Amino acid sequence: MKVKTVKDQSKNFLTALNEAVDGKYCLRLYVTGTTPRSVRAITNIKRICETHLKGNYTLEVVDIYQQPVLAKGEQIIAAPTLIKQLPLPLRRFIGDMTDSNRILLGLDLRPINNSDDKNGNGR
């Protein structure tokens, strides 16, 4: 893997900044064919996006059986894997997306349940 140059990184940062201003989510879901788990993941993520990010996201579903090169390029190990490319930071969600709480947390869409507990008190 090539190390990204500083220029690239700053460019990414700028784009990310712009995107973040737009608040647009860029998601990519990698699945393996039409296994029940894949289907479940697709429906789950679609539901979450439609509920919480309506009109503010792009979701791309990739079948890595058909594009195995991407598995290496994107460092995919588990399936299904959802990658949140934007807004930064990059995050990976593995599993069939049934744990919507975790996804929402990871997408920074829902504050941690007890906002008082933010500082880690009482844990």
Partner 1 sequence: MKTKPIKAQKLRPLEKISSGISGLDEITGGGLPKGRPTLVCGNAGCGKTLMAMEFLVRGATDHNEPGVFMSFEENEEELTRNVASLGFDLDALSAKKKIVLDHVRIERSEIEETGEYDLEGLFIRLNYAIESIGAKRVVLDTIEGLFAGLPNHSILRSELRRLFRWLKDKGMSAIITAERGDGLLTRHGLEEYVADCVILLDHRVNEQLSTRRLRVVKYRGSVHGTNEYPFLISKDGFSVLPVTSMGLDHPASSERISSGVERLDTMLGGKGFFRGSSILVSGTAGTGKSSIAAAFVDAAARRGERALYFAFEESQNQILRNMKSISLDLEPWVKKGLLQFHASRPSLCGLEMHLLNIYDAVKKFKPSVVVMDPVTNLISVGTEIEVRSMLTRLIDFFKTEQVTAVFPSLTSGDTSISSPSEVGIASLMDVWVLLRNIESAGERNRGLYILKARGMEHSNQIREVILSNHGIGLVDVYAGPESVLTGSARIEQAGREKADIDRRKALMERREREIARERGVIAAQVAVLNAGLEAKIDEFNQEITDETLLDQVNAKSRVNLAANRQADVEPKIKATNGHNRVEAVRK
Query: Which residues sit at the interface with partner 1, rule CB under 8 A?
Result: 1, 30, 32, 37, 41, 44, 64-65, 68-69, 71-72, 75-82, 89-100, 102-103, 105-106
- Smallest gap from residue 52 Cβ to partner 1 (A): 14
Q: What angle do CA 20, 106, 123 make, to 5 degrees?
A: 125
The set of residues, in sequence order, having a beta carbon less than 8 Å from that of 44 and lying 6+ positions away, is 96, 97, 98, 100
Instruction: For partner 1, give the closer residue by CB, 24 or 71.
Output: 71
Measured between alpha carbons, how far is 63 from 67 in angstroms, rounded to an integer? Answer: 6
What is the nearest approach in angstroms of partner 1 to the Cβ of residue 65? 7
The structure tokens listed for 3 are 């190390």
Residue 19 or 94: the one with the smaller Cβ distance to partner 1 is 94
Indicate the residue among 3 and 21 with the shorter CB distance to partner 1.
Answer: 3
Q: Determine the straight-line distance between the first and last CA of the chain, rounded to whole angstroms.
A: 40
